[in-house]
Amino acid sequence: MSAGLQAEDFTCNGHVEFGIPAQADQYLCRDGYAVGYDYQTKNPAWVAYHITGDGVSIRNRRSNSFKPDKTIPSQYRANLSDYSKSGYDRGHMAPSATMDYTPKAGKESFLLTNMAPQLPGLNRNGWRFLEKEIREWAVDHSELYVVTGPIYYGGPSKYIGDGVAVPDAFFKVVFDPLAFNAIAFISPHQKISKADLTSFITTVDHVEQVTDMDFNQLLSKNYENTMESTQWSLSDW
């Protein structure tokens, strides 16, 4: 993306059609997702992606080719060595299995600007289940907008490698633009199971309070206020 593009003009293939969640140091646009990147943490502040039921049903082979993102200035860029032997996974924000409707989109999901340090006990357990659930919801709901990212309570305090911040928690906001419903999650950064997930459902309002972001800000405020204060259960959504 050109350096001169203003945030308000950044819609990125429709991934942030309803407005960027927060200003960022650098905006990145890929086929499958949009990123607001944070220089201080060397992580994405948010990753937004629009998915359809048709798209998530198309699968291509997982690339597993993790790569540093050379569009980020080197002093702010995460590298493979930062994660190596850290004990943390390179945790996808926009999941590979959700992005793999084309080989190119799938490969792009392996850029480190789509990653944050994530404990295997989260990434490979409860979080993975949530990602799978969202793919199934995309089929049921026809299309969804998802925003996900890290949370640092009181600011970043723990790092791996050369200054890649370890999040305290992760959020997900899932918005159905046809039904005008939204469900949200905040998961602590710890081992969680599929069964634990239901206890981490919250409202979009709460995620906005914790992250200081604004989701779906371009929607009618009437819709937004109702939608963002609704607490869902997994079975009703």
Partner DNA sequence: TTTGATGT
Give me the active site residues, please: 92
Q: Is 103 in the site for DNA (CB under 7 A)?
A: no
3-state secondary structure 206-234: HHHHHHCCCCCCCCCHHHHHHHHCCCCCC
Q: How far apart are CA 26 and CA 35, in angstroms?
A: 8
Say which residues have a Cβ less than 8 Å from residue 160's Cβ, sequence separation at least 6. Answer: 82, 83, 86, 87, 88, 117, 166
CB of 81 or CB of 220, closer to DNA: 81
13 annotated as a binding-site residue: no
Give residues 159-188 in contact with DNA (rule: CB under 7 A): none
Give residues 20-39 in contact with DNA (rule: CB under 7 A): none
CB of 20 or CB of 77, closer to DNA: 77
CB of 196 to DNA, least distance (A): 15
Of the candidates 90, 95, 159, the residue with the CA atom closest to the CA atom of residue 119 = 90
Q: Phi first, then psi: what are they for 122, rounded to 5°? A: -95, -55
Number of residues assigned to the chain: 237
Give residues 60-99 in contact with DNA (rule: CB under 7 A): 62, 64, 66, 83-85, 87-92, 95-98
Interacting residues with DNA (CB under 7 A) = 59, 62, 64, 66, 83-85, 87-92, 95-98, 118, 120, 123-124, 128, 131-132
Q: Show binding-site residues for Mg(2+).
A: 123
